[in-house]
Amino acid sequence: MKIMKRPNILLTGTPGVGKTTLGKELAQRTGLSYVNVGDLAQEGQLYDGFDDEYQCPILDEDRVVDELEDKMGDGGMIVDYHGCDFFPERWFNIVFVLRTDNTVLYNRLENRSVLAPPLPVSASVVFSRAIKKGYTGKKLQDNIQCEIFQTIYEEAMEAYKEEIVHQLPSNDPEDLERNLEQIVQWIEQWTKDNN
């Protein structure tokens, strides 16, 4: 097995808690590689059917794991996804579960911008299709309940060693900055201790 020079980090939490914002900024500040599993799945069509109830593709978890395996062995990865129990435990040195106040989360999900369905057109047209079409109905309520009942946190606690799972508040820009500073310090310490 390879010895990693940089840690692997999992950012997880209910949709809308700020994983992508944190992950991209963290990658920029640290030089670690950032992977959004939703984007990876879309690019590689790593799906196993379609969920009619939620109107979204069903992730093929085995294909996602196969796609990421080599990269994870090298270390230096930030993985962003709202599920966490299908990743191999050995992949991550630390897991951060982002948590958001229910009112803040409700507003974020309700106002979330999404891309209209893809058509064979130029990239400039795709950007013009970004529409304000937030989560509604059952999808919105289920995601809020997921946060209320700490579903992702409990999933992480069952899937990984308790000592590597940490909750971070993610309600406002101040939380984002504190989280970035805390994780950057952790990365620096991990790198120092393991090299």
Contact 93, 7 (CB under 8 A): yes
Q: Tell me the CB-side half-sphere exposure of residue 14, using CA atoms within 13 A.
A: 30
Distance CA 76, CA 69 (A): 13
The three-state secondary structure class of 117 is: coil
Q: Give the containing element (helix H, strand E) for 145.
A: helix 137-148
C-alpha angle 93/34/96, rounded to 5°? 40
20 is in an annotated binding site: yes
Q: Coil, strand or helix: which one is 115?
A: strand
Give the residue among 38, 33, 119, 105 at the shortest CA–CA distance from 70. 33
The verdict on whether residue 136 carries a ligand-binding annotation is no
Query: Is 137 annotated for ligand binding?
Result: no
- Show binding-site residues: 16, 18-21
- Show binding-site residues for ATP: 16, 18-21
